[in-house]
């Protein structure tokens, strides 16, 4: 199944860009997600909420994508996808450093996706919220 994205800009206490992911985040589309976030950052987005409510599956490449999104939103270069396992090691190092960042937050992760994030430790990089409303209010 493909993944669709919807982008919405919300004026809260600060401007928040919400990107809703619908479908499966896997090897067939993770680079597109990173490129879309690069464009959002280039266009001035500094507060990004990833709405995972309709994300039905996340593969290991999707985990690299989420880590890459954090790097992009912090003005850094993400891991090179051609680096293969090295990209996963960089994700692991990022998780071990464990600094929760606030530029990219998550909301609505279904139990299956939340479990993958927890098992890999990637959940430690994000502030997560049960729903979009509470997430937007937290920025």
| Out of 48-57, 76-85, 125-134, least confident range | 76-85
CATH number, domain of 35, equals 3.30.750.24
What confidence tens digit (pLDDT) does each residue in 81-122 have?
766 556 666 666 666 666 668 899 999 999 999 999 999 888
**Does the reported pTM lie above 0.75?**
yes
Domains: count for the chain:
1
In sequence order, which residues have a C-beta less than 8 Å from that of residue 97 and are 6 or more positions away?
A: none
Q: Which two tokens stand for residue 48?
A: 């990004």
The rounded distance, in Å, linking the Cα atoms of 42 and 51 is 20
pLDDT of residue 85: 58
What domain range is 16 assigned to?
Answer: 3-138
Half-sphere exposure of 98 (CA within 13 A, CB side): 3
């Amino acid at each position: 199944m493909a993944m669709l994205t919807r982008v919405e800009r919300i004026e809260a206490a600060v401007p928040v860009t919400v990107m809703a992911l619908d479908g499966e985040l896997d090897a067939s589309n993770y680079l597109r997600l990173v490129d879309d976030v690069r464009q959002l950052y280039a266009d001035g987005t500094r507060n990004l909420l990833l709405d995972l409510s309709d994300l039905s599956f996340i593969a290991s490449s999707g985990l690299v994508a989420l880590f890459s999104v954090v790097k992009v939103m912090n003005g850094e270069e993400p891991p090179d996808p051609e680096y293969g396992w090295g990209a996963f090691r960089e994700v692991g190092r990022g998780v071990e450093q464990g600094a929760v960042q606030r530029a990219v937050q998550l909301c609505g992760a279904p139990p299956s996706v939340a479990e993958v994030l927890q098992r890999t430790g990637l959940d430690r990089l994000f502030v997560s919220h049960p729903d979009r409303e509470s997430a937007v209010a937290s920025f």
